[in-house]
Amino acid sequence: MYKVLLVDDEALIREAISENVRWKEHGFELMGACENGKDAIEKIEQTVPDLLITDICMPYLDGIELTKYVYEKYPVTKVIIISGYDEFEYAKTAVKYKVLEYVLKPVTAFELTELLDKIKEDFDEEAAKKKSLKKIREAYISNLPVLKGRFLNGLMQGSMNAEEIKKKSEDFHIDLSGRYFIVTVVEGDNLREFLKRHHGIKEDLVLFAIYNITEEIVIKNQSGITFQNGEDKTIIIFKSDRDEGFRAGIFDVCTEIRTALNEYLKLDVTIGIGRTVTSTGALNQSLESAKEMLEYRFLLGGNVVLDARDPGKSKHTTERELSAWTDDILLSIKAGEHAELERVIKSFIQKLRADYVPKNRIIILFQNIVLSIVNMLDEAGLSDEAFLEGENTFINRIYLLNHLKDMEAELIEFCSMISQKMTSEKESYGNKQAVLALDYIDKNYSNSELSLNSVCRYLAISTSYFSSIFKSCTGETFIEALTKKRIEKAKSLMENTALKAYEIAIEVGFSDPHYFSIIFKKHTGLTPTEYTKNKRRQ
């Protein structure tokens, strides 16, 4: 029987179709009738139908959206749309989502039954093809210990009792005697990249080759049982009557397997050795711990044997620690010293590796560092589209990386790029801001209210950053430059006008004539009166 789900917001239509079609007589089972797409999705997620019959216009989620959802999530489910709208766009969308039939309302039970008979024929034909393909697949793997593999995979799920394990192991001639058991998983590193380098080789063949070489070595060492799980990954069950030396022996065998696969297949592999258990019923626990060890491949790099005997425990990197590392990295970026920047980042990465921090946590830490860099650039007025583009590219790349060492290289490259651009931009930007500030002083020196704050407001820059770049570019502070300009203008007025000293003080921006006299003498060695007399004698 093929399962059918009916979806229509009109109760009369739902009832009419549900009751007037003899579903079972035509090879179908009506699993339910829903009044909108939202309810239908909940139903589908519980039991996936073979056929979906849906209206288009419905509340919450219409038929087109429901069809799209089924097309993307459950492509094996076929769809019939029954609609009162003879619209080209609807029909075109239905074709896009590979709808079997687009039927206009009203539709009779007889018409729908004829349609179901046609669809059943298609379903039966498709089922026959699948059955034929299954036979081909079975023929392909007929030389493999299929029943043995099924049993061992079932054993790994931990759902068999001791009596069932004993009976089936005897039936399949599998020796599971022993007091101690350890499960290991052998997994190729970056199979996708390997297949790109070896055109024409299929993944199934590579996975079988890993299994085949592994099995030969395990048999040679008489150390365990090898099989492929449901994902075609190679699993080994090691067994022993003695605990002493058991793990050491396994590590040696796994190292031999890794070396052989490197040599014969030119393929890097990582092997996870699970925890020791004392019964076949607990093998699934050892398997899970072996899989957990494979997760550390990200931290330690591929092509390694990872033993659960000494698993690193993930330590929580505190916000305070992250802040300290971030400050060190930012300082190195600002300093523009590549060697120091690289040293700081490598130390940071080594800390993450030593603490066995998981990948998802590391990605968050990297994102926080990048955010701090962006904030630093914003404060310095250096953030532009080029910087933001580099940030987005970096974040996108690290998501795709499989090893921490690769992320380390990416972070060093990114921070070095920022450092180089920042040094270049700072020099150019600093010179520009200094020139603008000097021009502002030249035009506003007579204003007694002119100050560091007012020029920074004019330039839209922080006082601390402005003070730094101004001093670097001009060799003097803002106050020194302003005072120098005012004294020069005062001297010019004394030499070329008959203005009195207090008038000149006001003219050049000093609101207090007495203070003007003190500053003038400090810079020239003469009081304003003495300076004027000397010039007029000349």
* Residue 301 host element (H or E): none
In a domain, 170, yes or no: no
Check: CB of residue 303 under 8 Å from CB of residue 247. Answer: no
Check: CB of residue 143 under 8 Å from CB of residue 133. Answer: no
* pLDDT tens digits along 120-137: 998 999 888 888 877 776
What SS3 class is residue 185?
strand
* pLDDT tens digits along 447-498: 988 998 998 888 888 888 888 888 888 888 989 999 999 999 999 888 888 8
- According to the model, what pLDDT value does residue 315 have? 57
Would you put residue 125 in left (φ > 0), alpha (ψ -120 to 50) or beta? alpha
Q: Are residues 454 and 529 in the same domain?
A: yes
- According to the model, what pLDDT value does residue 270 have? 93
Q: Are residues 419 and 445 in the same domain?
A: no
- According to the model, what pLDDT value does residue 422 have? 74
Per-residue pLDDT, averaged over 315-342, amounts to 80
Domain end, chosen from 430, 463, 496, is at: 430
Q: Are residues 498 and 470 in the same domain?
A: yes
pTM above 0.75, yes or no: no
Instruction: Determine which of 133-147, 347-361, 409-423 has the lowest per-residue pLDDT on average.
Output: 133-147
- According to the model, what pLDDT value does residue 142 have? 59
In a domain, 164, yes or no: no
Q: φ, ψ for residue 291 (rounded to 5)?
A: -65, -40
Mutual angle of helices 146-156 and 162-171, in 10-degree steps: 160
Q: What contacts 47, CB < 8 A, 6 or more positions away?
A: 3, 31
Check: CB of residue 305 under 8 Å from CB of residue 258. Answer: yes
Q: Are residues 358 and 251 in the same domain?
A: no
Mutual angle of helices 338-354 and 404-444, in 10-degree steps: 140
Per-residue pLDDT, averaged over 316-337, amounts to 78
Percent of the chain's residues with pLDDT above 70: 92
Structure tokens at 426: 């700072």
pLDDT tops 70 at residue 505? yes
pLDDT tops 50 at residue 144? no
Percent of the chain's residues with pLDDT above 90: 30
Instruction: Determine which of 297-311, 314-328, 502-516 has the lowest per-residue pLDDT on average.
Output: 314-328
Per-residue pLDDT, averaged over 259-283, amounts to 91
pLDDT tops 60 at residue 269? yes
Buried b / exposed e along 195-231 (16+ C-beta atoms within 10 A): beeeeeeeeeebbbbbbebbbebbeeeebbbbbbeee
Q: Are residues 343 and 290 in the same domain?
A: no
pLDDT tops 50 at residue 140? no
Domain end, chosen from 103, 127, 151, is at: 127
Q: Name the residue with tokens 């390997």.
A: 194
Measured CA to CA in angstroms, residue 516 lies from 80, 123, 440, 522, 528 at distances of 93, 101, 21, 10, 9
pLDDT tops 90 at residue 34? yes
- According to the model, what pLDDT value does residue 118 have? 92
Q: Are residues 23 and 83 in the same domain?
A: yes
Instruction: Determine which of 108-117, 175-184, 356-365 has the lowest per-residue pLDDT on average.
Output: 356-365
> What pairs with residue 187 in β-bridges?
270
pLDDT tops 90 at residue 53? yes
Q: Are residues 438 and 475 in the same domain?
A: yes
Per-residue pLDDT, averaged over 58-71, amounts to 90
Q: What is the DSSP string of 377-403?
A: HHHTT---HHHHHHHHHHHHHHHH---
- Number of domains comprising the chain: 4
Per-residue pLDDT, averaged over 340-349, amounts to 91
Q: Are residues 39 and 117 in the same domain?
A: yes
* pLDDT tens digits along 371-430: 888 888 777 666 666 666 667 778 888 888 878 888 899 899 888 888 887 777 666 667
Per-residue pLDDT, averaged over 52-70, amounts to 90
42 pLDDT tier (thresholds 50, 70, 90) = very high
In a domain, 418, yes or no: yes
The residue among 4, 8, 3, 119 whose CA lies nearest residue 63 is: 8
Structure tokens at 303: 């092509």
Sign of CA dihedral 471, 477, 483, 486: positive
* Mean of per-residue pLDDT scores for the chain: 85
Per-residue pLDDT, averaged over 34-40, amounts to 93
Domain end, chosen from 430, 454, 486, is at: 430
- According to the model, what pLDDT value does residue 376 have? 80
Q: Are residues 423 and 454 in the same domain?
A: no
How far is Cα 214 from Cα 258, in angstroms, rounded to an integer?
Answer: 9
Burial-class residue 58 by CB neighbours within 10 Å (0-12, 13-18, 19+): buried
User: Helices in 47-85 by DSSP H: which ranges?
Assistant: 63-73
Q: Are residues 242 and 297 in the same domain?
A: yes
User: Helices in 337-446 by DSSP H: which ranges?
Assistant: 338-354, 359-379, 385-400, 404-444
In a domain, 144, yes or no: no
How far is Cα 392 from Cα 414, in angstroms, rounded to an integer?
Answer: 11
319 pLDDT tier (thresholds 50, 70, 90) = low
Most confident range (mean pLDDT) of 87-96, 301-310, 419-428 is: 301-310
Check: CB of residue 408 under 8 Å from CB of residue 349. Answer: yes
- According to the model, what pLDDT value does residue 286 have? 93
Q: Are residues 421 and 440 in the same domain?
A: no
In a domain, 271, yes or no: yes
Q: What angle do CA 317, 322, 326 make, to 5 degrees?
A: 155
Instruction: Residue 26: give its domain's CATH number.
Output: 3.40.50.2300
Instruction: Residue 467: give its domain's CATH number.
Output: 1.10.10.60
In a domain, 167, yes or no: no
pLDDT tops 80 at residue 143? no
DSSP collapsed to 3 states, 450-516 = CCHHHHHHHHCCCHHHHHHHHHHHHCCCHHHHHHHHHHHHHHHHHHHCCCCHHHHHHHCCCCCHHHH
In a domain, 138, yes or no: no
**Structural domain range at position 373:** 319-430
Instruction: Determine which of 25-34, 311-320, 434-443 has the lowest per-residue pLDDT on average.
Output: 311-320
Instruction: Determine which of 55-59, 67-71, 87-91, 260-264 has the lowest per-residue pLDDT on average.
Output: 87-91
Q: Are residues 464 and 517 in the same domain?
A: yes
Burial-class residue 305 by CB neighbours within 10 Å (0-12, 13-18, 19+): buried
In a domain, 169, yes or no: no
